[in-house]
Amino acid sequence: MRILFLGDIVGRTGRDAVAAALPGLRQSLSLDLVIVNAENASHGFGLAPAMADVLFAAGADVLTLGNHAWDRKELLGYIETQPRLIRPLNYPQGTPGHGAVVVDLAGGRRALVLQVMGRLFMELNDDPFRLTAELLGKHRLASNVDAIVADIHGEATSEKMAYAHSFDGRVSLVVGTHTHVPTADAQILPGGTAYQTDAGMCGDYDSVIGMEKGAASARYWRRVPGDRLAPADGEATLCGVYVETDDRTGLATSVSPLRTGGRLAPMFPVPLA
């Protein structure tokens, strides 16, 4: 299976770049599954339902959220009707929506996509490790699903790494989101799980993690209320992670960063023959 995960979309420039590029990426990489983190797609804060529809129409199979999930209140109703939009699994019981979804793919294959939110330097939510273990007790690679992708949305690299090692061999890919900077540690762990600490963002990198750099930088110079942060609107770089899996086991056979457009050095995956 060929899987592409795109990191946090930030604002209009990131959203438009993803929507424009996805159809071509699906074709050129012969993708079976596309997952996009979209929690900052609406002006840098949250996701509007209409924008989710655009991303689905462009070729996203699943959208994930994060700590900005409810910045757009209209999403509360939308998420109840759209199972392919997921929020963190470890949000308290009773929160709208779901933290995981099984999607049906071409050829009769099925993939489980889940998201958890880290707890170090983040909101205090339920235990992401325990809840993931419970979910994986119901869904097993090469049994009732052909691939499993886990998005861990968090600040701490140590927590993301510990999470990945905890479930090595039980999922196809663990990928971090939230910090908006692509890490240089794409690898296959000893048990066969692909991993990258952070996928990076899809947005303008002439910025402070996607936000206009003047207002964002000013916050570190003085402790007074400033202008509301707004997304930078220059050319976007698309950042993500590309993974190929073994059809027999569901585990990774290759992993590679994807970076295209904008300011960062380009890197484009070469699919295995």
Q: What is the 3-state secondary structure (H, E, C) of 70-97?
A: CCCCCHHHHHHHCCCEECCCCCCCCCCC
| 68, 139, 153, 178: the active-site residue | 68
Residue 117 has pLDDT above 70, yes or no: yes
Residue 224 has pLDDT above 90, yes or no: no
Count of other CB atoms within 10 angstroms of residue 127: 12
Q: What is the per-residue pLDDT for 222?
A: 86
Instruction: Give the chain's radius of gyration (CA, Å).
Output: 17
Q: Which of 52, 58, 55, 60 is nearest to 76 (CA)?
A: 52
pLDDT digits (tens, 9 = 90+) for 173-206: 999 999 999 999 999 999 999 999 999 999 999 9
Classified as helix, coil or strand, 156 is coil
pLDDT digits (tens, 9 = 90+) for 25-76: 999 999 999 999 999 999 999 999 999 999 999 999 999 999 999 999 999 9
- Say if residues 109 and 32 touch (Cβ distance below 8 Å): yes
68 given a catalytic annotation: yes
The CATH superfamily of 2-260 is Metallo-dependent phosphatases (3.60.21.10)
Spatial distance between the Cα atoms of 207 and 245, rounded to a whole number of angstroms: 35
Count of other CB atoms within 10 angstroms of residue 255: 23
Domain boundaries, the chain: 2-260
Q: Which of 30, 257, 28, 201 is nearest to 266 (CA)?
A: 257
Structure tokens at 250: 């569901």
Could you list the beta-strand ranges (E) of the chain: 2-6, 8-9, 33-37, 62-64, 85-86, 100-104, 110-117, 147-153, 173-177, 187-188, 194-196, 201-202, 238-245, 252-260
